[in-house]
Chain A
Amino acid sequence: AQSVTQLGSHVSVSEGALVLLRCNYSSSVPPYLFWYVQYPNQGLQLLLKYTTGATLVKGINGFEAEFKKSETSFHLTKPSAHMSDAAEYFCAVSTSQKLVFGQGTRLTINP
């Protein structure tokens, strides 16, 4: 069965600083990997996804993630944080009919 671990339930960065949200997955077969973002009192929306092919995936709002099979990781980065990036971020993995989410990381941006 697949699983996802997000390291750090809360991450705080200064505006303009690098954002790094960590995600490690467990899967016995090649996974499909996703990052979703949730703004307060809203549903989730897709930031980016990895299926096959290029391991560096670019998403919306300047975010990107790199699939590293050897490290079973799919960390999310953004070079320069903006106040509007404050939200909760979820990593998810699918190898079949089910999408499994990590626990989530709440990102706070300090002015």
Chain B
Amino acid sequence: NAGVTQTPKFQVLKTGQSMTLQCAQDMNHEYMSWYRQDPGMGLRLIHYSVGAGITDQGEVPNGYNVSRSTTEDFPLRLLSAAPSQTSVYFCASSYSVVGKAYNEQFFGPGTRLTVL
């Protein structure tokens, strides 16, 4: 099993550009989520999904879009990049009972994004 994979590992964007961060898991997990990690702020939830076709907002959703067309994939789209979106982005997945975040989340290696 590859676990949770993320691409790219590094990305530099100019303000206003758009891009998609890819996330895939091969563990057949229903629950998937995106976090951003900033110094001194821990990890903050951007969006999450409890199954294919179902997504919802987390703590910091503005400027980001997600969709979940398959169980395996959960891409994160930056619509118009801003310097405030410079961060490290982590995707995670877990087994879920009735859509709850009660189980161990498995994290990808992260994408380091810089917006100039």
Contact = CB atoms under 8 A, between A and B. Distances in A.
A39 to B, nearest CB: 11
A90 B102 CA distance: 16
B99 interface: yes
Given A32-B102, A43-B110, A45-B107, A98 B58 contact: yes
B107 A99 contact: no
Interface in A66-99: 90, 94, 96-99
B42 interface: yes
A98 B102 contact: no
B101 interface: yes
The interface size bin for chain A is 20 to 34
Interface residues of B, number: 26
Contact of A104 (B42, B59, B105, B109): B42
Contacts of B48: 97-98
B103 to A, nearest CB: 8
A65 B100 CA distance: 23
Contact of A43 (B33, B90, B102, B104): B90
Contacts of A46: 104-105
A57 to B, nearest CB: 13
A42 B58 CA distance: 23
B44 interface: yes
5 contacts: A43-B108, A44-B43, A94-B100, A94-B102, A103-B40
Interface of A: 4, 6, 9, 32, 34, 42-46, 49, 51, 90, 94, 96-104
Closest 4 CB pairs of A and B: A43-B107, A101-B42, A94-B101, A101-B43
